[in-house]
């Protein structure tokens, strides 16, 4: 199979109506932070047990088509000795891998950041492929303030995303391109729309320059939202209208799927916003789906609480949340479904 056939096969499995991507790629500090409120210590064994619980949830492949893994997880095994990437494959879920190395301040651009990890990326991807990974993810972040993101910040981050995506495709990996406009701050919905539009314009110009094949990538953007400190929060319908307006202006129709990140939203908010987009705008050129981390996992962590005996309840919580988001992909979610068992 040549590389283009490989990319086509992977994207066909990742992009399916009513299915989304589970982000389970939390770094060690992040997963430690997630475990703390439930009283679970973050050790290699507890992380393995938790992620094994997620991936072996019965029938989760009905609503999840891909999972983004942290590097440690690729080498870990389920209780029966099966590699966790193989546990996913048996559920007809594509294993992927987070490949960026975290963010640092961007020189000469106060308040802006840039993500590291391009050095040796091709070599790392070859190792990950041998461990079962078939797609990758790279995140750039954009904080909103009166002066940020700067033009330099927007262009430098777009260049990094495009360089990463080009290397991925050369190695037969579908790239998830994640430009996250942060929800932190007191900015308005209109200011977020303006920033998101500038960011996505720059990203797609850079992808074009680097000859990234748009048909074999997934965009993972943030929704257009007011800052969490803004006095006026937006309804799902307002979020949907603003987000789709920006996507129509910036994202080529060749991109097969847009899988939103949940970035600070509650599980219910993330589902309701996605549902509003699909209910109000049913004839868009892309699939509008989800690639949620905390918005899928928060109810699971609460149900699990680090205890083996809670595993069935935790898996039930994941299946339920994934199912509700699957319905939202079709615009068929209703808030009253949250009360159903």
116-125 pLDDT, tens digit per residue, is 999 999 999 9
Catalytic residue among 19, 26, 220, 287: 220
CATH of domain 3-339: 3.20.20.70
Task: Extract the tokens encoding 34.
Answer: 């997630």
Find tokens 């009253």 and name the residue.
336
pLDDT at 341 over 70: no
Provide mean pLDDT across the span 135-145. 98
**The residue to which tokens 């050129």 are assigned:** 285
DSSP 145: S
Say what the pLDDT of residue 153 is.
98
Please tell me which residue in 178, 194, 269, 287 is annotated as part of the active site.
178
Q: Please state, in angstroms and as integers, the Cα–Cα distance from residue 206 to each residue in 27, 143, 159, 212, 282, following that order.
A: 27, 20, 6, 9, 29
Beta carbons within 10 angstroms of residue 59's beta carbon: 12
As a residue count, the chain comes to 341
Q: Could you confirm whether 220 is annotated as catalytic?
A: yes
Separation CA 317–CA 323 (nearest Å): 10
Distances from the Cα of 205 to the Cαs of 120, 162, 165, 213, 250, in angstroms? 25, 9, 13, 13, 10
Average pLDDT score over the chain: 97
User: What are 15-51's pLDDT values in tens digits?
Assistant: 999 999 999 999 999 999 999 999 999 999 999 999 9
- What 8-state DSSP symbol labels residue 233? P
Would you call 279 exposed, middle or buried from its count of C-beta atoms within 10 A (0-12, 13-18, 19+)?
middle
What span, in angstroms and rounded, lies between the C-alpha atoms of 234 and 277? 14
């Amino acid at each position: 199979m040549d590389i283009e056939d490989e990319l086509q096969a992977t994207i066909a499995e990742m992009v399916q109506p009513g299915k989304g991507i589970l982000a389970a790629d939390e770094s060690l500090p992040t997963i430690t932070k997630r475990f703390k409120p439930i009283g679970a210590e973050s050790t290699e064994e507890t992380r393995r047990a938790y992620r094994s619980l997620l991936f072996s949830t019965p029938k989760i492949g009905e609503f999840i088509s891909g999972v983004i893994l942290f590097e440690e997880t690729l080498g870990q095994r389920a209780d029966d000795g099966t590699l966790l990437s193989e546990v996913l494959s048996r559920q007809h879920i594509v294993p992927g891998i987070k490949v960026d190395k975290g963010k640092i301040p961007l020189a000469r651009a106060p308040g802006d950041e840039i993500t590291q990890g391009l050095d040796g990326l091709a070599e790392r991807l070859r190792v990950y492929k041998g461990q079962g990974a078939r797609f990758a993810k790279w995140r750039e972040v954009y904080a909103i303030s009166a002066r940020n993101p700067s033009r330099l910040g927007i262009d430098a981050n777009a260049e990094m995303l495009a360089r990463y995506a080009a290397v991925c495709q050369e190695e037969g990996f579908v790239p998830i391109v994640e430009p996250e406009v942060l929800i932190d701050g007191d900015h308005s919905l209109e200011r977020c729309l303006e920033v998101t539009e500038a960011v996505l314009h720059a990203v797609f110009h850079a992808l074009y320059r680097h000859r990234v094949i748009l048909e074999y990538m997934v965009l993972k953007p943030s929704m257009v939202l007011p800052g969490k400190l803004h006095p006026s929060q937006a309804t799902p319908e307002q979020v949907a209208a603003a987000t789709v307006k920006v996507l129509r202006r910036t994202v080529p129709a060749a991109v097969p799927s847009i899988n939103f990140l949940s970035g600070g939203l509650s599980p219910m908010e993330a589902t309701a916003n996605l549902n509003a987009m699909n209910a109000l705008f049913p004839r868009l050129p892309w699939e509008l789906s989800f690639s949620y981390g905390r918005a899928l996992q928060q109810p699971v962590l609460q149900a699990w609480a680090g205890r083996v005996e809670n595993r069935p309840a935790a898996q039930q919580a994941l299946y339920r949340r994934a199912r509700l988001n699957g319905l939202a992909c079709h615009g068929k979610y209703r808030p009253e479904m949250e009360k159903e068992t």
